[in-house]
A and B are shown apart, each in its own frame.
Chain A
Amino acid sequence: MAAREEGAIPGSADASAAQRLRRNHDEIARLADDLLPALIARLAASGLGEIEVREGGWKARLRMPAATVEARRTAARAADAHVRASAHAVAGPSHSRSEERDRRLRPEPEVVEEPGLVTAKSPAVGIYHPRRDLVVGMRIRAGDRIGSVNVLGVGQDVVSPVDGVIGSSLAESGEAVEYGQDLVRIELPESAAEAGPSELAGLAGLP
């Protein structure tokens, strides 16, 4: 179910991108650890709208929150592809050392995701049901109930971790979900996003 099966079926279109990603994961790790924090700081100080850095076969582009929804989608796709690639890398019974390096990247997809992306996560393993009136664009406050996960007949609340706006759903109603699974995207409101560097809609793009 959930995480494992998803990782095990890379679409053929994703496959070559996934392989490229895998080859370059060491590069990404270095970018994420060394370059990105410095870039974010510099972008914040510069007053510029966008910074792009190329290195080897990679480029990292960071944008201020004027970012469009489309940019966010691209970023999310990059993050998904990243997770798929690393999950796929460990699906086999034997592990080369480079694959192991790939795998260890998996717990830190946030460095590839746009910093502004937040999700409501499953509090338990069970069956997920969003609340009935949940619609994209709905404003919510931190702690607001978004839905519930049914654990053996007992509902556990899924709550928003932040103030924001309901974005796309990442799980269907009635779907089995695992602990910690991303269920709903929470978009940060523009006003909050404009506040400062912490809300950067950064993007580490594909080459």
Chain B
Amino acid sequence: MFNKILIANRGEIALRILRACRTLGIGAVVAYSEADRDSLAAQLADEAICIGPADARHSYLSAPAIISAAVVTGCDSIHPGYGFLSEDEGFADVVRAHGLAFIGPSAEVLERFASKEATRRLLGAHGLPTIPGSGMLRDEAHALEEAERIGYPVLIKPSAGGGGKGMRLVRTAREMESAVKVSRSEAKAGFGDDALYLEKYLDDTRHIEIQVAIDRFGNAIHLGERDCSVQRRHQKIIEEAPSPALTDPARQELAERALKAVAEAGYENLGTLEFLVDARGEAYFIEINCRIQVEHPITELLTGIDLVALQIRIAAGEPLGITQADVVCRGHAIEFRILAEDPAKDFRPQAGQVGAYLAPSGPGVRMDSHLYPGYDIPSYYDSLLAKLCVWAPDRSQAIARGDTALREMLIDGVVTNIDLHRAILANQVFIDGKVTTNLLDRVGSAPFVAAGNR
């Protein structure tokens, strides 16, 4: 086991990792940027060290600064948290070259799963369905032929694009010819590359992900799924487990297929496989996250397993110590991401100083947050203030506990999305468990914001 871990992250996850270290009896050093000097993690840590200025490129994203901090403080390992360098195979490699352990998959594993496209092909070859698509389109006739094979509606996607840029939805064959022409010239102008391909367009999808844990001895378990369909512009807002969209046999089958594929493909450590599930219940693999995830607490609430501690133990070369039979999911859990952003003003990020602050509590309530009264929220980083997680024996009770806790929560001094959460909880589509990833973007957040202001 490790003696001392450098925590190379900030906010609530730095605190979460610090807690795991203490539980395991491992020393910890919190690495912080100048803007985070007063952060709760830096204050609570036995040891903390400033690694650079507020600009993350010179602190949380600086491999030399982080590794040097680990070396001079006598750490033997580095926990990257999520975001920043957590899935950077180059960083993992350099960490190892300095005789330190990277708490996550090895550089080789990260590299194998680095490209989304290559990972889809790899896991497709190991039996996971992926979204049907074409190769690069030669001409309009080829596009028509491929679209016919895939089935309308289809998306035309520029090969050089990303993040949804330059995509065009085509619903019928009649539109195809002109759509390809326009897309080609747009791609040429926008990306300097006019290569296009087709992908099946999935209308009302749910985002469902499978949590896995695999040690270096090949022991592999899954820890069920999480449903992250409540999103705004591809950002998750509410996550819950188990998914209300899957039957028990379906959830078990999906989890087992995912685990088998990723284990066969040589994955190691904690990981999450993300799927889009369409209205008919067909699941398509989209990507893998090779890190601890923001929404991991709901899995912890269901299973009683400390995922960060498990991740640390796997990275230290220990066996899982549990088998699939030991993983029992009980009840229902929901996570609410409390963000410093104003839903009434196009979700603009907010900065400011926290005034009065009260974290909710009570049966089945867990609050992961780095806030405290008087805390200055730095404007340099993401807007996540807290993760409110609730657990109850069933979904309706979990919703009730969530609403009770949201009402109790007090964060003065900065505008948050607490009311938006309450409005979503009160919405019939959510109560019925029928939220799809496009809901908030399609109906807009205005009805929810208005409801929240009652």
Size bracket of the A interface: 20 to 34
Question: For the complex, is B372 an interface residue (Cβ under 8 Å from A)?
Answer: yes
Contact segment of B50-58, B80-88, B205-213, B342-350: B50-58
Whether B373 and A95, one on each chain, are in contact in the complex, defined by CB atoms closer than 8 angstroms, is: yes
Residues of B within 8 A of A107 (CB): 37-38
CB pair A179–B372 under 8 Å, yes or no, is: no
| Chain B, residue nearest A97 (CB) | B373
Q: What 1/0 mask marks residues of chain B from 48 to 82 whose CB sits below 8 Å from any chain A CB?
A: 11111100000100001101110111000000000
Stretch at the interface among B39-47, B286-294, B359-367, B397-405: B39-47
B408 on the A face (CB < 8 A): no
Residues in chain A within 8 A of chain B (CB atoms): 1-5, 90-91, 93, 95, 97, 100-101, 103-104, 106-107, 124-127, 151-152, 154, 176-181
Q: Is B171 an interface residue (CB 8 A)?
A: no
Closest to A175 in B: B72
Docked-complex contact A178 and B38, CB < 8 angstroms: no
- Cβ B71 vs Cβ A152 within 8 A: yes
B285-320: CB near A (< 8 Å → 1, else 0) gives: 000000000000000000000000000000000000
Once the chains bind, are A124 and B73 in contact (CB under 8 Å)?
no
Q: Which residue in B29, B43, B50, B68 is a CB contact (below 8 Å) of A180?
A: B50
How far is the CB of B15 from the nearest CB of chain A, in Å?
11
Alpha-carbon distance between A96 and B237 when the two chains are bound, in angstroms:
32
Describe B's contact surface by its main secondary structure: mixed
User: Contact at A101–B48, with CB atoms within 8 Å?
Assistant: no
Q: Which residues of B contact A152 (CB under 8 A)?
A: 64, 67-68, 71, 98
Check: B34 CB closer than 8 A to any chain A CB.
yes
Residue pair B72, A4 in contact (C-beta under 8 Å): no
Chain A contacts of B67 at CB under 8 A? 152
The one of A2, A97, A176, A179 that contacts B52, using a Cβ cutoff of 8 Å: A179
Evaluate contact between A178 and B98: CB separation under 8 angstroms. no
Min C-beta distance of B48 to chain A, whole Å = 5
On whether the beta carbons of A1 and B71 are closer than 8 Å, the reply is: no
Residue of B with least CB distance to A128: B72
Task: State whether the Cβ of B374 lies closer than 8 Å to any Cβ in chain A.
Answer: yes
A93-B44 in contact given A103-B374, A125-B51 (Cβ < 8 Å): yes
Give chain B residues whose Cβ lies under 8 Å from the Cβ of A97.
373-374
Q: Could you list 23 examples of A-B contacts with CB < 8 Å?
A: A1-B29, A1-B72, A2-B50, A4-B45, A4-B49, A95-B372, A103-B38, A106-B37, A106-B38, A124-B68, A126-B72, A127-B72, A152-B64, A152-B68, A154-B64, A176-B72, A177-B72, A178-B49, A178-B50, A178-B51, A179-B50, A179-B59, A180-B53
